[in-house]
Amino acid sequence: MGGDHGVSATVPGLALALKHLPASVRFLIHGDEARIAPELARAPELARRSEVRHTDKYIASDEKPANAVRRGKGASMWNAVESVKAGEAAAAVSSGSTGSLMAIARLVLRMSVPMERPPLVVPWPGLKGVTTFLDAGANVECDAARLVEFAILGEAYHRVAYGVERPRVGVLNVGSEDMKGHDEVQQAHAILRSGRLDMDYHGFVEGDDLSTNLVDVVVTDGFTGNVALKTGEGAARYITEELRAALTSSLPAKIAALLARPALRRFKARITPTPAAPLLGLNGLVIKCHGGADARDFGRSVGLAVDLAGSDFMSQIERNMSRLGAEPAGDPA
């Protein structure tokens, strides 16, 4: 029921996803059955492989996370996460409010690693592919142990999401030299290069390395990560708007733009972020699809959920956490 388009995007998105998923995959659709039924009627195969769990309660996009936790029980988002906890579903996918989804997932599923909240994972487009970047804003202050946990989570996720057998991991810093950076990044660097983890650790990377794909996974605290992310998004918008202005400035420019349309579409696809972001570190899989997602985007997010659910993603995380001497345990809160 969430996102800008609600069931007009989510249900058709499931139908699109079915074209690329194994025949064994089935869906639990949580929401208002009266609004879902007309969309399902247009997709008979999806209707056959789905069960609708009716609730007319849903969490609005502007709902404060604290309110979502207090009053959200029985809402479609809450029920979807509950279905993962109950073992009825392998993963939950939602386009609803990020803050509310994170708060509900943390309360219902608990954390599998001792951190305050799941890190926000974003795909950073680069010259040779995509870099997995975390944390993009959830955990503003991070000690060395937290940064190492991010490395473990991000490495396991990148392997499954992008098919890289042994992702290279780097820590974002003010320089690539070993002696640079504050105590937290220095301590995390020492742990990651110690060889205790089954990980291809590169070392420190700088901000201008994010788009060169020097490494596959870049780790940082949520404050630095959010500043970097917003700066990158602003630069991308500036370039896109300047390009649009240049290509509509005159009749010859418009003709050139028309001729270059296929190349421009490829350019847009390259700089457009992947619609799905997993909430890592939970005792269960939860995928956040962006709020403006259309059916195609939602279908891609569901495909990612199926890939993660069918992998040994969680066990990879557990193995590396145990090598740290900190076997992941349920959050005591």
Q: What is the pLDDT of residues 139-150, one digit of tens each?
A: 888 899 899 999
Cβ atoms of residues 182 and 305 within 8 Å: no
Buried b / exposed e along 217-256 (16+ C-beta atoms within 10 A):
bbbbbbebbbebbeebeeeeeeeeeeeeeebeeeeeeeee
Nearest residue to 154 via CA among 190, 197, 110: 197
**How is domain 1-116+279-333 classified at the architecture level of CATH?**
3-Layer(aba) Sandwich (3.40)
User: CA separation (Å) from 9 to 5, 25, 34, 130, 135?
Assistant: 6, 19, 16, 25, 28
What mean pLDDT is reported for the chain? Answer: 87
Run of H or E residues at 169: strand 168-172
Cβ atoms of residues 67 and 241 within 8 Å: no
Using pLDDT thresholds of 50, 70 and 90, give the confidence band for residue 48: very high
Question: Looking at the whole model, is its pTM more than 0.75?
Answer: yes
Residue 47 has pLDDT above 60, yes or no: yes
Using pLDDT thresholds of 50, 70 and 90, give the confidence band for residue 329: very low
CATH for 119-273 is 3.40.718.10
Mean pLDDT over residues 158-164, rounded?
87
Q: What's the pLDDT at 171?
A: 96
Q: How many CB atoms lie within 10 A of CB 267?
A: 14
User: CA separation (Å) from 223 to 28, 30, 73, 120, 130?
Assistant: 36, 34, 31, 11, 21
Buried b / exposed e along 40-57 (16+ C-beta atoms within 10 A):
beebeebbebbebbebeb
Cβ atoms of residues 37 and 7 within 8 Å: no
Nearest residue to 323 via CA among 331, 315, 313: 315
Calculate the CA dihedral of residues 82, 75, 311, 326 and round it to 10 degrees.
-60
Mean pLDDT over residues 237-250, rounded?
84
- Cβ contacts of residue 270 below 8 Å, gap of 6+? 125
Residue 95, token pair as written in the block = 């386009």
Using pLDDT thresholds of 50, 70 and 90, give the confidence band for residue 274: low
- Polymer length in residues for the chain: 333
For 69-85, the pLDDT digits (tens) are 888 899 999 999 999 99
Q: What's the pLDDT at 332?
A: 41
Mean pLDDT over residues 15-22, rounded?
91
Q: How many CB atoms lie within 10 A of CB 287?
A: 23
Residue 173, token pair as written in the block = 């810093």
Mean pLDDT over residues 126-135, rounded?
88
Which SS3 state, helix, strand or coil, does residue 8 take? helix
For 206-230, the pLDDT digits (tens) are 998 988 989 999 999 989 998 888 8
Q: Which residue has the tokens 């680069």?
A: 126
Q: What's the pLDDT at 331?
A: 46
Which part of the chain is CATH 3.40.718.10? 1-116+279-333, 119-273
Mean pLDDT over residues 283-301, rounded?
88
Q: What's the pLDDT at 330?
A: 45
Using pLDDT thresholds of 50, 70 and 90, give the confidence band for residue 272: low
Q: How many CB atoms lie within 10 A of CB 310?
A: 14
